[in-house]
Every structure is written in structure tokens, then in C-alpha cells.
Chain A
Amino acid sequence: MYKQQVIRRILLSFFIGLLFPLGLLAQNTLEVTARADSSSIRIGEQVKLHLKATVPAAVFNKPEFRLLLPVVPDSMDHFEVVTRSNPDTLTQQDMKVLQQTLTITSFDSGHWEFPPLKFEVYGATGANSVDTLFSQPLAFDVNTVAVDTTKAFKPIKTVQAVPWNIWDYWPYMAGGGAIVLIALGLWLYFRKRPEKKPVEKLPLVTPYDLARQQLKSLKEEQLWQQGDIKQYYTRLTDILRTYFEHQFGIAALEQTSEELLKNIKPVTKLNQQRDKLRSLLAIADLAKFAKLQPTADEHVDCMVKAEEILEWTRPKEEPAAQTPGAPDEKPQTGA
């Protein structure tokens, strides 16, 4: 009896000893699974399909190890893939778990089998090894919606009002509040900003007075006496041209001598001085552009002509236009 017990224990120990490495082996092997949340769906209903590969950490950490999750097309027999998550890697004790979740659906009613999915494993058992593992096929019952034909057809429902919720409008309220705050800030800023000092108004002088004044200072500068003849005539014609522009509205500064003589025709008073102006402009052009040196008498004569033109065209009563920016000094008006 005792002998039998001893033999039984030895045999038991032997079998236990045999099973122990198998358990170890099971823990060290690769496993792939495909699991659905439900095996029965209504037509068009979506179901999650979890793809999972469990790999021993020692294998996973091999540099040459690579595992390719199944490539499931968007559409296959009776099934459609709606979305697919990014592959994820988890660590569970000394195992690594690679998983991906697909959302699938079916629009064909019936009993369908989702085919086994292929996992490709590289470098698990050797440097250049290639292994292929398949998941179990999955069976799905795709049911149609039962229609109660005994009842009458119902009309399409009208648009339903969504219950008002204040949180649906918070971006608008926040934007409005921000605008009110900015406006308030700007109002406060401009209210507190120091007021601009009123611009000091310069005394206004008429174009005639300004021209007289400029001619007087030109005379005083004695440019031609110092040999700066070109500058003398440039200034002289500029004074007259500016006067014509302000007094008669002729764009004289942008016109050549010929054009100016042509364009003064409509201004009768000025046109009466045409010959004087022509003679003055002709000498001035020669001095300015041909380096001609007019005589001293001609210099004086040109100044006199300019003053005469000014006097002849002097406005009688109120000035036609006024030029701001002249000094306060009262100009001489005598010819």
C-alpha cells in the first residue's frame, strides 16, 4: 500500500515536472487575438474589433524584432471598416501588448464570418526569421430591424427644437464681453490722454504780399552781385510761378515757359503783361539752362518787370486766395 502511494507520488511529481516547462513556454510564446465587443449587431450598427498581439518582453526588445498588425481593407465581404485607432503598445509584467481597435459595421443582413487576420512577425526566433500568425475567425449575426407591418406608416417627424442651453452661447458672450472691455479701455485711454495743444495759427498773407516779400528778400540777398546769376533767375521765376499758382490757379510750377505763356491767356489781367513776362522768362531760361551771363542792367530790368507784373495783377479788394505760413512782418507794397 505504502509502495503504491510512493509510486503515485513519484508519477505525480513526474507529470507536474513535465507540465511546469510547458507553462513557462506558454508564457514565452507570441499570442494574437481578435475580439469583438458583440457578435450580434443590427444592420449598420457599429462594433469594436480589438486586435491584440502579446509578445514576451525579451523577444520584443530584440533589435531585429518587428511585428506588423493586420492590414484590414476599408471594405471587405459584408463588412466595412469605419474607423481605426492608432496602434498602441502596453507593458504587462514581462510581456508587451500591441493592440489596435477597429470600428466595423455591416450593411448585409445574415450570419457572416469575419476572416482570420494575419499578423506578421520578423526576427522573433532568429535574426532573419519570418513568422505568420492568424487570429481566430469571428462570427457575426447581422440582423435587420423588425417592422411591424400591421401598423400604418408614420409621417416623417418635424424638426425638433433643441433645448436652450446657456453654455452653447458662451463663445459669443465672451467675444461680446471682450469687445466691451476693449472699448471701455480705449475710452479710458483717450479720456485720460493729454489734449493736443491748439495749433498756433500763423498770420495769413495774400499771394501778392508773399511774392512782394520774397522779391524784396531776393533783392537784399544780392545774388547776382555775388555772381550767383543762375540762382538769382531760378528764385525770381519761382517767385512769379508760385504767385501765379496761388493767385490765379495756374499750375505754373509744372509748366515750361512756353506753356505758361499759353496758359495765361484766359487771365486777362495777366495776359496784358504777356510781353514783359515773355522777355523775363526768355532771359531767365538762357541764364538757367545756357549759362548766359546777362548784363547788370538786364538783372535789374528783370526784377523791375517782375515787380510791375505783380503790381499790375495786384488784387483790388479782398484777396482771391491766401497763403498761410508767412512771417508776421508787414510787407511793403510800393512798386
Chain B
Amino acid sequence: MENTSSDIRQLNEKIHQASAFVDLLNMELGKVIVGQRYMVERLLIGLLAQGHVLLEGVPGLAKTLSIKSLSSAINAKFSRIQFTPDLLPADVVGTMIYNQQKNEFVVRKGPIFANFILADEINRAPAKVQSALLEAMQERQITIGDNTFKLDDPFLVLATQNPIEQEGTYTLPEAQVDRFMLKVVIGYPTKEEERHIIRQNLNPEASAPIRAVIQPADILEARKLVREVYMDEKIEKYIIDIVFATRNPEEYKLQKLKPLISYGGSPRASINLALAAKAYAFMKRRGYVIPEDVRSICFDVMRHRVGLTYEAEAENVTSENILSEILNAVEVP
């Protein structure tokens, strides 16, 4: 059914009111997290668009603090799993334990049974463990023995990867990386932010604790609204053009990119780009998507979905470079 002009006006009003909690959340998180607005914004996009986030950044950039604070502000259950080479799937999802008194096996749930999971250094665990986590992310349910458990909703996995120290790591295969809606690359704070961080840490009593400003149920409601955000067919075409330009750059007068791209974005890329753009529009308190929304989250949605050839790697061309070229070549509606 096509939306009419008045429908969109009403929707816009509705979303403008419903998205007020985003500012509240930002304020609350701002109490403990200095800077990193970009990362926090992407976490919220993942939360609202029901997608998981892969974070890449050096240690000490407040990744854990961010997700922990976010879960506190939403009054949700948080769990952290440090991935190590000797980790087993049962350490993540749980296992059956024999109860001697009752003379039966009982299920002991793993740390994955929480709303927010921080999978720290996911590439340090072997493929079997990664696969267990990624399967849970996809299916949103866990089977232990004969019992199947639905995971809590909202369920957001924030996995981290360290771009340095690649020795002894198990790089996530492309098919599994594709399951993350966003891959966010975070950098160091600015000088001013760093000064605030120092002061805040030297005087921890001064910073107020995070309080719950919304409930998980509010997030579930917001998710429904995100899906309702209006996306014009011009925007849909723009998204498709971007994704197709990663597959067939020569059709967009980008022949020079052809030898640099080994594979382009999958249909999952288009879906996630559309969903993330809607979530971004929601956070900007709009009931419709504009090209700015698509461009703002394009790098985070697409950077792990564009495969580079050896030639590109030899020339130090990154997926970000390729995406920039594409965005500069595809006409904005």
C-alpha cells in the first residue's frame, strides 16, 4: 500500500516524538563516555535496526565502557566474553551439567543469554567458537541438548577486532563477517576529548552513574517504527546503484575499480544499507530517508562487504577508497 502525503506527515510527527529517547540516551552516555559519538551512534543504529556491530580499533578506546553504559541506560542485561584460543562453544552458549542430587542433566546457560554481548577480540577464538556465536546471532536462538532457547530481545552483539597483533588469530571468513550489519572503525579521541578523559578518570567520584532512561520494551517499540520510516523509490534506486557499483563498477564509468574488487556487496548489503539508513533517519528524528542518511552509514555497512584483490592490496587501496570513488560517481537522486 502506497503512503500518501498526509500519512508521511503523521508518521514524521510520530517518529519525531518517539525518537526523543535518542537524545536522552546520548545525554546519559555522555556522562561517562567522552567523544566516541560516532561509535555510540552506530551502536544505536545496530540496536534500532536489529543488526550486530563489528568494531575495529586499538585497545583502550572505551569499547567495553560504551556497550556496558548503553546496556545500563536501557536497563538491559550485559555480558562480556573474552575470546581466547582455548575457548569452547559450550563456554559461549552453555552446556548440560549432571545434577547428582536430582540424578539428571540440567542446562547451564552460557553468557550469550543477555541483551548486550561484547565479544571481545572475536578473531582470537577458533572457527568453531566464532561459528557458534555467529549462528546464535543469525538464528537468535540456542539449542543445548534437546532444548531450544530463544535469546532475549533486544539482542545485540558487539564484536571487537584488534587491527594490530594479527599473529595467532583466526580471521573471520567473509561469509561470517557479512552477518554483521555494521563494521565500525574507531579512532583515537581528539586532544580536547583526551583532556576530558584524563580529568574524568582522575576524579571518578565526580561523574554520575548511568541510570536507566528507557526500558528494553521501548527499544522493541522503536524498532517497529524504524521499519515504518518512509523510503522513497528514488532512495531505493540510489542504494541499489551503490551496491551494484561495487559489483559492476564499469557500468558506472569506474573501469579503474574493476581490477581492484574481487567481489561486491551481496543482497544482504542492500537490505542492511536500507535498514541502517532508516534507523539513521529515525535517530535524526525524521520519518523519511534522505540521501544523506544513506551516505552517512554507507561506509560502515559496506566496508566489510567489498572484497579486495591482491592488486588492490599491493597498491594499498582500501575498501574505503573504493567506496569513496563509488559515492563520488553514483548520481544522488
Which residues on A are within 8 Å of B, measured CB to CB? 234, 251, 253-259, 285, 288-293
Measured in the bound complex, the distance between the Cα atoms of B3 and A207 in whole Å is 38
The reply to whether B5 and A292 form a contact with Cβ atoms under 8 Å apart is: yes
Measured in the bound complex, the distance between the Cα atoms of B291 and A258 in whole Å is 10
How far is the CB of A295 from the nearest CB of chain B, in Å?
12
The reply to whether A256 and B332 form a contact with Cβ atoms under 8 Å apart is: yes
CB contact list, B223-256 vs A, under 8 A: 230, 232, 234-235
Interface size class of B (residues with CB under 8 A): 20 to 34
Chain A contact residues, majority secondary structure: helix
Given contacts A289-B234, A289-B235, A291-B232, contact A254 B287 (CB under 8 A): no
Measured in the bound complex, the distance between the Cα atoms of B328 and A292 in whole Å is 28
Measured in the bound complex, the distance between the Cα atoms of B5 and A251 in whole Å is 31
User: Inside 8 A of B330's CB, which chain A residues have their CB?
Assistant: 254
Q: Give which listed residue, A254, A259, A285, contacts B329 with CB less than 8 A.
A: A254
Measured in the bound complex, the distance between the Cα atoms of B290 and A254 in whole Å is 14
Query: Does B19 belong to the interface (CB within 8 Å)?
Result: no
B291 — nearest CB in chain A belongs to which residue?
A: A256
The reply to whether A289 and B290 form a contact with Cβ atoms under 8 Å apart is: yes
Which residues on B are within 8 Å of A, measured CB to CB? 3-5, 8-9, 12, 230, 232, 234-235, 286-292, 295, 327-333
Measured in the bound complex, the distance between the Cα atoms of B254 and A254 in whole Å is 14
The reply to whether B328 and A256 form a contact with Cβ atoms under 8 Å apart is: no
The reply to whether B333 and A234 form a contact with Cβ atoms under 8 Å apart is: yes
The reply to whether B3 and A291 form a contact with Cβ atoms under 8 Å apart is: yes
User: Inside 8 A of A259's CB, which chain B residues have their CB?
Assistant: 292, 295
Q: List 17 A-B contacts (CB under 8 A).
A: A234-B234, A256-B290, A256-B291, A256-B292, A256-B332, A257-B292, A259-B295, A288-B232, A288-B333, A289-B230, A289-B234, A289-B235, A289-B333, A290-B287, A290-B288, A291-B4, A291-B232
The reply to whether B8 and A290 form a contact with Cβ atoms under 8 Å apart is: yes
Given contacts A290-B8, A291-B4, contact A254 B232 (CB under 8 A): no
How far is the CB of B216 from the nearest CB of chain A, in Å?
30
User: Inside 8 A of A258's CB, which chain B residues have their CB?
Assistant: 292
The reply to whether B332 and A253 form a contact with Cβ atoms under 8 Å apart is: yes
B231 — nearest CB in chain A belongs to which residue?
A: A289
User: Inside 8 A of B288's CB, which chain A residues have their CB?
Assistant: 289-291
User: Inside 8 A of B12's CB, which chain A residues have their CB?
Assistant: 290
A286 — nearest CB in chain B belongs to which residue?
A: B288
User: Inside 8 A of A288's CB, which chain B residues have their CB?
Assistant: 232, 234, 333
Q: Which 5 A-B pairs have the closest CB atoms?
A: A290-B288, A256-B291, A289-B232, A256-B292, A291-B5
Q: Give which listed residue, B3, B5, B295, contacts A256 with CB less than 8 A.
A: B295
Q: Count chain B CB atoms within 10 A of each CB in A253, A285, A289 and give the residue with the most.
A: A289
8 further interface pairs, Cβ-Cβ under 8 Å (given A254-B332, A255-B332, A291-B288): A234-B234, A234-B333, A254-B331, A285-B290, A288-B232, A288-B234, A289-B333, A292-B5
User: Inside 8 A of A293's CB, which chain B residues have their CB?
Assistant: 5
Measured in the bound complex, the distance between the Cα atoms of B235 and A160 in whole Å is 82
User: Inside 8 A of B5's CB, which chain A residues have their CB?
Assistant: 291-293
The reply to whether B230 and A290 form a contact with Cβ atoms under 8 Å apart is: yes
B288 — nearest CB in chain A belongs to which residue?
A: A290
B287 — nearest CB in chain A belongs to which residue?
A: A290
User: Inside 8 A of B3's CB, which chain A residues have their CB?
Assistant: 291
How far is the CB of B240 from the nearest CB of chain A, in Å?
16
How far is the CB of B31 from the nearest CB of chain A, in Å?
30
A288 — nearest CB in chain B belongs to which residue?
A: B234
A290 — nearest CB in chain B belongs to which residue?
A: B288
Measured in the bound complex, the distance between the Cα atoms of B291 and A195 in whole Å is 49
User: Inside 8 A of B327's CB, which chain A residues have their CB?
Assistant: 254
Measured in the bound complex, the distance between the Cα atoms of B292 and A257 in whole Å is 8
Measured in the bound complex, the distance between the Cα atoms of B289 and A293 in whole Å is 17
